[in-house]
């Protein structure tokens, strides 16, 4: 945070900041106004049942429509939003927007919302989720919160308590990007997740690397044993679909079926016209 100088004015750039730090500070400033200027938008990507091909859920993915830079990917601003604490407001907006969108869909699909570990640092998260549900009148069972292993890294009672309180509201909690953290299996014991999403990197290497195949096999087996669905992320080819089916993976998501699309195109996706049907 820039310090006020002697005359009490707020200095945006500190003398001696390098170009990278200045670019980051600029991003932070722009991010502060982005919510007010309504520059964020939610895109949706279908998650399909591998057996029936049916769309069962949509994952909400945030996009920042920057007036000059065009679309900024989440990876390029979520970290700054997390460092500055802005992710709390952004996250609240995502929750409210996603619930509102989902409540208006022609079919009672679930909506999956990505959560930042920073959002779990405050008890206010529970109220945000409650508010998003009550304002939208979306049944809690249709909201799924995707968390990564980073949320459980501290393994604090507060974090686990929050997860249980959220679950008590009736929302589902899924483990996103499974297999990329340090203690994946341990985290599955600390909280009874409703779903495991297998990280895209394993799906990408499915046809070329035996270790990726072995891990996918192990994780789908784990899902079966725990009685919860496993979603393969980043499915791009028919060959991957066939291998995933053989291994008993239950759900698929990826460019092979559909890219994430604007909220206004959800009904079009539900009509099945843009989708590659699971065959
Ligand atoms: P994620 O939750 O694992 O989301 C999946 C990412 O994979 C998305 O990238 C999606 O566009 C991309 N993807 C889907 N299918 C394919 C495929 O077949 N091939 C490839 N190469 N990529 C595919 P996106 O939208 O850029 O989001 C990246 C990450 O940013 C997300 O990973 C999530 O961790 C985070 N994120 C997105 N939206 C939000 C949000 O609203 N809040 C928070 N806190 N994080 C978000
Ligand atoms: Mg996700
Ligand atoms: Mg993921
Ligand atoms: Mg990911």
Q: What are phi and psi of 107, to 5 degrees?
A: -125, 150
Q: What is the predicted pLDDT for the residue at 132?
A: 98
User: With left for phi above 0 and alpha for psi between -120 and 50, is residue 232 left, alpha or beta?
Assistant: beta
Q: What is the predicted pLDDT for the residue at 277?
A: 57
Ligand 1 pocket check for 86: Cβ under 6 Å: no
Nearest partner of 97 among 38, 26, 146, 152, judged by Cα:
38
Q: What is the predicted pLDDT for the residue at 269?
A: 94
- From the CB of residue 227, how many other CB atoms can be counted at a distance below 10 Å? 7
Residue with tokens 């099945």: 272
Residue 60, both tokens: 């909400």
**pLDDT < 70 stretches in the chain:** 1-16, 273-279
Q: What is the predicted pLDDT for the residue at 267?
A: 96
Q: How many angstroms is it from 196 CA to the middle of ligand 4?
A: 12
DSSP-derived pairing of the beta strands 55-66 and 70-72: antiparallel
Q: What is the value of ipTM here, to two decimals?
A: 0.98
Q: What is the predicted pLDDT for the residue at 20?
A: 85
pTM: 0.93
Residue 256 DSSP code: T
Q: What is the predicted pLDDT for the residue at 12?
A: 59
CB-based contact 191:185 (threshold 8 Å): no
Q: What is the predicted pLDDT for the residue at 72?
A: 93
Q: What is the predicted pLDDT for the residue at 11?
A: 58
Q: How far apart are CA 114 and CA 74, in angstroms?
A: 11
Q: How far apart are CA 254 and CA 266, in angstroms?
A: 15
Residue with tokens 């310090």: 3
Ligand 1 pocket check for 139: Cβ under 6 Å: no
Ligand 1, atom 11, lies closest to the CA of 260
Q: How many angstroms is it from 177 CA to the middle of ligand 1?
A: 10
Ligand 1 pocket check for 117: Cβ under 6 Å: no
Q: Considering every ligand atom, which ligand is closest to the CA of 62?
A: 1
Ligand 1 pocket check for 260: Cβ under 6 Å: yes
Q: What is the predicted pLDDT for the residue at 94?
A: 98
Q: What is the predicted pLDDT for the residue at 172?
A: 98
Ligand 1 pocket check for 78: Cβ under 6 Å: yes
Ligand 1 pocket check for 255: Cβ under 6 Å: yes
Q: How many angstroms is it from 176 CA to the middle of ligand 2?
A: 6
Q: How many angstroms is it from 103 CA to the middle of ligand 1?
A: 22
């Amino acid at each position: 945070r820039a310090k006020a100088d002697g005359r009490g004015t707020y200095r945006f750039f500190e003398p001696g900041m390098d170009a990278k730090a200045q670019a980051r500070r600029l991003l932070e400033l722009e991010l502060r106004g982005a919510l007010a200027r309504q520059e964020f938008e939610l895109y949706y990507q279908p998650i399909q049942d591998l057996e029936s091909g049916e769309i069962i859920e949509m994952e909400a993915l945030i996009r920042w429509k920057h007036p000059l830079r065009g679309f900024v990917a989440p990876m390029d601003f979520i970290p700054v939003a997390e460092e500055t604490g802005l992710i709390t407001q952004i996250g609240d907006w995502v929750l409210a927007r996603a619930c509102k969108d989902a409540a208006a869909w022609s079919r009672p699909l679930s909506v999956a919302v990505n959560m930042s570990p920073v959002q779990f640092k405050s008890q206010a998260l529970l109220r945000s989720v409650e508010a998003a549900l009550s304002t939208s009148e979306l049944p809690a069972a249709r909201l799924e919160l995707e968390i990564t292993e980073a949320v459980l890294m501290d393994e604090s009672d507060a974090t686990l308590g929050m997860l249980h309180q959220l679950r008590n509201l009736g929302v589902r909690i899924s483990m996103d990007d499974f297999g990329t953290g340090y203690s994946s299996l341990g985290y599955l014991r600390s909280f009874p997740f409703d779903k495991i999403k297998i990280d895209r990197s394993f799906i990408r290497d499915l046809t070329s690397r035996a270790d990726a195949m072995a891990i996918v096999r192990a994780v789908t087996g784990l899902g079966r044993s725990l009685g919860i669905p496993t979603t393969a992320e980043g499915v791009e080819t028919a060959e991957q679909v066939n291998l995933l089916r053989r291994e008993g993976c239950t759900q698929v998501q990826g460019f092979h079926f559909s890219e994430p699309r604007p909220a206004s195109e959800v009904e079009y996706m539900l009509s099945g016209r843009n989708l590659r049907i699971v065959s």
